[in-house]
Chains A and B, each alone.
Chain A
Amino acid sequence: SQQGEEDPQALSIQEGENATMNCSYKTSINNLQWYRQNSGRGLVHLILIRSNEREKHSGRLRVTLDTSKKSSSLLITASRAADTASYFCATYPPTGANSKLTFGKGITLSVRP
């Protein structure tokens, strides 16, 4: 069963604009991760944010986490055509036996040159 639910499901923007993608989840987490996948390729890890963190940055990426609302957002600033990809949030539960990373349905981002 999917834990994360991304919003919107598809996003189309012009190069240079900012892209904001949201993820909501249902149960408590140990951490939340964002991954990018170019068409038909493997996933690339972007950022991991732990449940006791509120915001993390990596280059043009900014991720926030609001555990009270069970939601996270991924902001890509000054987007480029190369950012065109599918983006997945994935949640990891509080550590326990058979804990696993659960992916949301994904967001398709298209950046127009």
Chain B
Amino acid sequence: DTEVTQTPKHLVMGMTNKKSLKCEQHMGHRAMYWYKQKAKKPPELMFVYSYEKLSINESVPSRFSPECPNSSLLNLHLHALQPEDSALYLCASSQVAEGETQYFGPGTRLLVL
């Protein structure tokens, strides 16, 4: 199984809502990533988990809260988002967090109203 799955595919939320994005992989990868991508821009790294521990936080606002419950799952909890947070949120995984090939999920398209 070489697939990274993400749910939901689309999400519309108000600025006072709390929601979560989910990501799952069953490739035995020990590194997982969250990226944010705006239209016609490259992906921007948000967080890296390595062996279920947060290893990189790219100064992301606290309204985004990542969680790695186990080696296969990665969540991104969203609270009090702003309209400018609307974007495609991509999850990826790799064998280890040392420059290896990253496998991306299809993304969650988020719209904040």
Contact = CB atoms under 8 A, between A and B. Distances in A.
Interface of A: 2, 30-31, 33, 35, 40-45, 48, 88, 92, 95, 98-106
Interface string B78-113: 000000000010101000001111111111010000
Interface of B: 4, 6, 40-43, 45, 48, 55-56, 58, 88, 90, 92, 98-107, 109
B106 A92 contact: no
B4 to A, nearest CB: 8
Contact of B90 (A31, A42, A92, A99): A42
Contacts of B98: 95, 99
A104 to B, nearest CB: 6
Given A41-B107, A42-B106, A33 B101 contact: yes
Contacts, number: 55
A51 to B, nearest CB: 10
A3 to B, nearest CB: 10
A41 B102 contact: no
B102 A45 contact: yes
Contacts of A101: 45, 99, 102
A80 to B, nearest CB: 22
Contact of A42 (B40, B100, B107): B107
A98 B55 contact: yes
